[in-house]
Structure 1
């Protein structure tokens, strides 16, 4: 077959029919054997493999069940419109694992372990209190880890680099014993429209989605199972009898806007404050994708009607609206943000806060509920990012920016 972008309608129909049959069979295999497959790949759940490592192991042990590493390497060089969609097959595998009540908790724990990069940087960070990365700067001041998003040229739009840097930064803040509270805030921008102003996050980088540089495993799934889940649950540090997880309270400070993934982040933080001229939005319908785990979490804050208005209808919430208080704890004038941030982190520094936030998070979202959602999300998001609708919207966005 020629490449996907230049296939005729008849050729596309042939490929679709063949792949539908293959994927139906793979789905049946995973529904029946996910636990046994996972146990073999992890040596009876004695090895902790992150999702990329798990898929690589599956490709070696069960060729044909998931795409080969060589296939994925070739796929990564293509624009989104010219990909074969092998990520859908990876999603089928991961859906089967995450549906298993035995395999899923082990995989969640594997993703909650500190990354090797964070462990390498930790000694230097504990000494100096500073870690500089391309997308995030971490600075410890008076027991507070200030995580500043610093992709100043693109309004902190999310890509694979930012996901890796943010997971590293969250790990450092959680592992450093001198840190009591974490703070997420956007830094000043060099982007012409917001030059010199702080911006929280513009959401997924649609230009990179169109160019094929937003991978399912290393961005869309790692983001949810990695640093965002660590913000909520903590980092897995051992098998202590009282808790294997080390969690800390988090404050979010929204300057200008929190769009898409930026708004999703606020749903796992313990205290959110925003400048009075800021706004929040989840433009999933406009982008054509699923807004992470917002579909699971948002209704707990807003109720079902407002959640549907935001996710299905694209409604933006201005910080000054009454409905904003469902998502934001404090709204202050832009010039008062620094003082409000200082008060917020001070309030969350109490000794009993970590235990109570852990109990609140368990009551609101159990790990089993999270795993069930992620199982379906993995497949639905993979289908969406390879759909012609999303590819067309990403291309149109890139043309507008050009």
Structure 2
């Protein structure tokens, strides 16, 4: 896959997508969002890939927001369409992907950058990471899911404060809030995240996909997460991975999952 704004590398069962616009601090424009969608779609269909890592090029920024120059002159209708299309192509797409997505947050994750990280299944941050949703300083609100996912992750009160003050928080504060799972030194960020990805890749891809679906169900209006869990649990029994996992356990050997 050849792209203008992102890089895609595969190492065994792990794919690493690097947002590569260093002169713009990896800001998200329409073209980058479209490229990310195409890359994620291809990787979802690639049976050799079991885990996806999202990161930004360089040490300064994961993604330092959206490309403001693209929408500064938009009217109300255009603004709504921008948010709807972005959520469909990227942010909701990432959250509902059948493969785990880990955000390796290096440096600034602001606005759309933090929203992209929050759409991922979980986050690992470098010690120099700074996170925030500064949209109100521009006269708008977060439009790529920020007002919904941030309260889910850190609670309503803290989310209200972060969004209304437009303040940034550092990596340790983000960890204390539950916004990131781990904080590591910048030079260890990718290796640490890859180690986590390898642990995930060793497990059943079919079971992991159903776990993602079941967990997400709890955050969807009108969906009973417990019912989704029961349904997905039962479906696991019809998979080859279940047969392999239980057989390997009884035979006291390591399971060789095929994702079937």
Common topology (TM > 0.5): yes
CA contact (8 A) 2:132 2:166 kept: yes
The residue aligned with 1:200 is 62
> 1:283, CA displacement in angstroms?
0.6
CA distance in 2, matches of 1:203, 1:354: 29
Structure 2 residue 11 is the aligned partner of structure 1 residue 133 = no
Distance 1:219 1:257, change over 3 A: same
Describe the superposition over 1:166-201 as per-residue Cα deviations: whole angstroms up to 9, x where unpaired. 11111111111111011100012xxxxxxxx35210
Structure 2 residue 130 is the aligned partner of structure 1 residue 279 = yes
The residue aligned with 1:225 is 88
Q: Which of 138, 149, 155 matches 2:19? A: 149
Alignment of 1:307-346 (within 5 A): 307-321=159-173, 324-346=176-198
TM-score (norm 1): 0.51
CA distance in 2, matches of 1:311, 1:200: 19
CA distance in 2, matches of 1:323, 1:304: 16
CA contact (8 A) 2:104 2:190 kept: no
Alignment of 1:259-278 (within 5 A): 259-278=110-129
Structure 2 residue 210 is the aligned partner of structure 1 residue 355 = yes
Describe the superposition over 1:372-397 as per-residue Cα deviations: whole angstroms up to 9, x where unpaired. xxxxxxxxxxxxxxxxxxxxxxxxxx
CA distance in 2, matches of 1:366, 1:342: 34
Distance 1:217 1:311, change over 3 A: closer
Higher helix share: 1
CA distance in 2, matches of 1:278, 1:155: 13
Local SS of the residue matching 1:132: coil
Question: Structure 1: which 5+ residue stretches go unaligned?
Answer: 1-130, 189-196, 235-246, 370-402
Q: Which of 29, 40, 53 matches 1:183? A: 53
Question: How large is the RMSD of aligned CA atoms in angstroms?
Answer: 2.3
> 1:263, CA displacement in angstroms?
0.6
CA distance in 1, matches of 2:128, 2:115: 19
Higher strand share: 2
CA distance in 2, matches of 1:291, 1:198: 22
CA distance in 1, matches of 2:175, 2:159: 11
The residue aligned with 2:32 is 162
CA distance in 2, matches of 1:336, 1:325: 22
The residue aligned with 1:61 is none
Local SS of the residue matching 1:177: coil
The residue aligned with 2:155 is 303
TM-score (norm 2): 0.77
CA distance in 1, matches of 2:29, 2:108: 18
Question: Structure 2: which 5+ residue stretches go unaligned?
Answer: 225-260
Distance 1:198 1:279, change over 3 A: closer
CA contact (8 A) 1:157 1:202 kept: yes
Describe the superposition over 1:142-170 as per-residue Cα deviations: whole angstroms up to 9, x where unpaired. 11121110112201112111111111111
The residue aligned with 2:233 is none
CA contact (8 A) 2:6 2:32 kept: yes
CA distance in 1, matches of 2:31, 2:169: 28
Describe the superposition over 1:27-62 as per-residue Cα deviations: whole angstroms up to 9, x where unpaired. xxxxxxxxxxxxxxxxxxxxxxxxxxxxxxxxxxxx
